[in-house]
Structure 1
Amino acid sequence: MTTTRRNFLKGAAASGIVFCGCGLQHGARAQPGTARLPVKVGGKRVMTVDAHTHCYFHEALNLMGDAADKILPPVKGVPEHFIVIEQRLKEMDAMAIDMEILSINPFWYGKDRDTAAAIVKVNNEKLAELCASRPDRFGAFATLSLQFPDLAVQQLETAIKKQGLRGAAIGGSVMGEDFSDPKFHPVWAKAEELGAVLFIHPQSTPELAKRFKGNGWLSNTIGNPLDTTIALQHLIFEGTLDRFPGLKILAAHGGGYLGSYAARDDHACFVSPQNCNPDIKLKKQPSEYLNQLHFDALVFTPEALRHLVAQVGASQIVMGTDHPIPWEQHPVDHVFATTTLSDKQKVAILGGNAARLFGLKQA
């Protein structure tokens, strides 16, 4: 970044009414796809939902003090980290997206209780305000102070019951503490009780930072999918998903690497029983748990989407783009290009599954 965050914010605020955002500068000038609103399958109108989009708020970043300048990611479109509503809607229209589910990647897990609580309060109030302004176009995941599970339980209940948010976005761990740790059980119990969707979005794998150095942004391209994979593996193998069978989990980036090599899990404890806990008796094969999880379709190619559907089922997949970061700029075209999908499966992935998962009213 060649400018300071403070100078950037001054320029962004001058450009229009700013609520929140995440970065895609060239989204508006990207080569348009063929899909247009309203999207139709078999001649019938289909609601399209992007369940993986991002957002930041000025007020929450300011609470990070001197660390605030390090929050914004090194990606194209840094100014677009702060949504100008009409511009974001134009970008959504160009991508043939009816509705976005916004989320904020956690940057407060290392903060003290009061600071973390203040950041989450700002985030959730601003998200609720934004969604209320255009409920037909925006939904959102709440933020949680997961490093303080008792506080996270309260925040989740408020977010779902009072603020109208759709679930909660969480990292791949809490500063290296895996979600299967019993300390987090009260949070998962509350999420299961409320029917709240937990969106696992990775934050790289810091333990491998030395190996990620070099060309190719490996901390993201490898580190992010790996972080999600590890998180899901612990939830499976430690019996967390057996303990909370009604838990609704959505994993970013197609669930990382798990969908491509899940069958290996089914052999692990047979090949090396000494590396498995005899006191943990899973109710089904490890790979079968993928069929009770949900995944976004951010896997880039029709063949990758075909394979993910074959592994987890079309009913478990929703669209996701990382918008406005330009990983996937034509998500609807991606679904239509996957010719192995039936019309029913396309309708489900385009928005039907998300409507069911988040309790949305379909068009």
Structure 2
Amino acid sequence: MPSRRQFLGAASGVLFCSCGLLDAADAQAQSQGQGQRRRGFEAVAVNGKSVKTIDVHAHCAFEATLPLLNNDRSVLLNNVRGAEEVFISLEQRFAAMDAQRVDMEVLSVNPFWYRRDRDNAAQIVKVQNEKMAELCAAHPDRFAGFASLTLQDPQLAVQELTTAMQRQGLKGAAIGGNVGDWEFSDPRFHPVWQKAEELGAVLFIHPQGVPQLAQRFRGNGWLANAIGNPLDTTIALSQLIFQGTLDRFPGLKILAAHGGGFLPSYADRSDHACTVAPANCDPNVQLKKKPTEYLRQIWFDSLIFTPSAIRHLQQQVGASQIVLGSDYPYPWALKPVDHIMASDSLNDEQKLDVLGSTAAKVLRLEG
């Protein structure tokens, strides 16, 4: 694996960056010109105290994977606004980040390979992790990255995560809500979670929807996403809690997209289910805490749209568990910093934490 200096100092060849190929001279010019482009950037400060803003939920894709997808771009592009921008143009992405007052994005690729042939998926993941590492090494002040994992083969995923953390400088892995018919609480995934715990890797759970409900999601409103994505996260987190996975791996760092789905909004119901219907609960699984208490060891992004939603999430999980997230380039929240600044339930120190300090600590980001 080339060093960061080799990435930044290459005098010839090409730098692969999502959107395609930049020659080394152009890459170097863009890197050097970055400070100039940011002269109009409005740095974020709370009561006079500045903070490096870190968006933990931002997406990208890599054109280098297209030959492994029969050059079918539709695999990587959803028919939604902003989709083309997952192929990063540095100039465009930096300008967008500056407009959002985001200093750094933690990039991830939405998992699309879980149902693909294992060997093909492994090739896709290898390319994506290499390109993600190159991009982040070339622009360490603007990008950090989550690895991809071939989770249909957990033993391979362990190897990929080890390489990502120890050799490629990535900060963890972006995972879906399940893999096919396997919930992440299934013991087959225990080696992955054990390795993640050992390495201090953050696992970013980004939902892929609930295709089993496709018929009920038909009609107006894009319910497959509006309801299906938060529901997928809700199920994933609930399985990890109720099956005892978080007891088995108490040091596991989990970051949940979209404010954790619906779980934090109705979490207290989880505390009563086994009391009301013990026959529907496994007596062999004896949790060490109340289900709601596990939420305070999970981190949640702030992509829940309103200050009142932030207030409720804060009351349920604590301000220390909330981090900035936008879902860029998809236009769910184009002013994520303003959203936090407008949240009166957060005091000044808590706003600094949500905007970047907590993410920097959890992800072990330099500077």
Whether these two folds match at TM > 0.5 is yes
* Structure 1 residue 90, shift from structure 2 partner: 0.7
Runs of at least 4 residues off by over 6 Å:
none
* SS in structure 1 at match of 2:272: helix
Q: TM-score, normalised by structure 1?
A: 0.89
* SS in structure 1 at match of 2:300: strand
2:359 matched to 1:333?
A: no
* SS in structure 2 at match of 1:329: coil
Match of 2:218 among 213, 218, 239: 213
1:292 alignment partner AA:
Q
**1:289-336 CA distances to partner (integer Å, 9 max, x unpaired)?**
000000000000000011101110111110000001100000110001
Quick one: distance in 2 between partners of 1:109 and 1:67?
17
**Other-structure match for 2:48:** 43
C-alpha contact (below 8 Å) 1:142/1:169 kept by paired residues: yes
**Other-structure match for 1:301:** 306
Match of 1:82 among 87, 91, 105: 87
2:54 matched to 1:56?
A: no
- How high is the sequence identity, in percent, across the aligned residues? 61
**Other-structure match for 2:278:** 273
Quick one: distance in 2 between partners of 1:182 and 1:77?
37
Match of 1:156 among 136, 156, 161: 161
Match of 1:139 among 125, 139, 144: 144
- Within 5 Å, give how 1:17-28 maps onto structure 2: 19-20=17-18
C-alpha contact (below 8 Å) 2:75/2:112 kept by paired residues: no
In structure 1, the gaps of 5 or more residues are 1-16, 22-34
Q: Relative contact order (alpha carbons < 8 A, sep ≥ 6): 1 or 2 greater?
A: 1
* Structure 1 residue 58, shift from structure 2 partner: 1.1
- Within 5 Å, give how 1:86-105 maps onto structure 2: 86-105=91-110
* Structure 1 residue 71, shift from structure 2 partner: 3.4
* Structure 1 residue 62, shift from structure 2 partner: 2.9
**Other-structure match for 2:236:** 231
Match of 1:246 among 237, 251, 261: 251
**Other-structure match for 2:328:** 323
2:208 alignment partner AA:
Q
Match of 1:65 among 67, 70, 73: 70
Quick one: distance in 1 between partners of 2:142 and 2:156?
30
C-alpha contact (below 8 Å) 1:153/1:190 kept by paired residues: yes
**Other-structure match for 1:263:** 268
**1:21-46 CA distances to partner (integer Å, 9 max, x unpaired)?**
6xxxxxxxxxxxxx953111111211
* Structure 1 residue 126, shift from structure 2 partner: 0.3
**Other-structure match for 1:313:** 318
**Other-structure match for 2:116:** 111
Q: 1:144 to 1:125 in 2, by over 3 A?
A: same
* SS in structure 2 at match of 1:63: helix
Aligned length: 333
1:19 alignment partner AA:
C
2:290 matched to 1:285?
A: yes
* Structure 1 residue 222, shift from structure 2 partner: 0.2
Quick one: distance in 2 between partners of 1:186 and 1:244?
10
2:17 alignment partner AA:
F
* Structure 1 residue 64, shift from structure 2 partner: 2.0
Quick one: distance in 2 between partners of 1:273 and 1:111?
39
* Structure 1 residue 51, shift from structure 2 partner: 0.1
**1:127-170 CA distances to partner (integer Å, 9 max, x unpaired)?**
00000111000000000000000000000000000000000000
Quick one: distance in 2 between partners of 1:202 and 1:269?
26
**Other-structure match for 1:199:** 204
C-alpha contact (below 8 Å) 2:158/2:192 kept by paired residues: yes
Quick one: distance in 1 between partners of 2:238 and 2:133?
32
Quick one: distance in 2 between partners of 1:348 and 1:208?
37
C-alpha contact (below 8 Å) 1:19/1:130 kept by paired residues: yes
C-alpha contact (below 8 Å) 2:18/2:64 kept by paired residues: no
2:135 matched to 1:130?
A: yes
C-alpha contact (below 8 Å) 2:83/2:329 kept by paired residues: no
1:285 alignment partner AA:
K
**1:322-360 CA distances to partner (integer Å, 9 max, x unpaired)?**
001100000110001001210010000000110011111
In structure 2, the gaps of 5 or more residues are 1-14, 20-39
C-alpha contact (below 8 Å) 1:166/1:196 kept by paired residues: yes
C-alpha contact (below 8 Å) 1:18/1:82 kept by paired residues: no
**1:261-309 CA distances to partner (integer Å, 9 max, x unpaired)?**
0000000000000000000000000010000000000000000011101
2:161 alignment partner AA:
L
2:18 alignment partner AA:
C
**1:76-105 CA distances to partner (integer Å, 9 max, x unpaired)?**
133312101121001000000000000001
Quick one: distance in 2 between partners of 1:69 and 1:87?
22
* SS in structure 2 at match of 1:287: helix
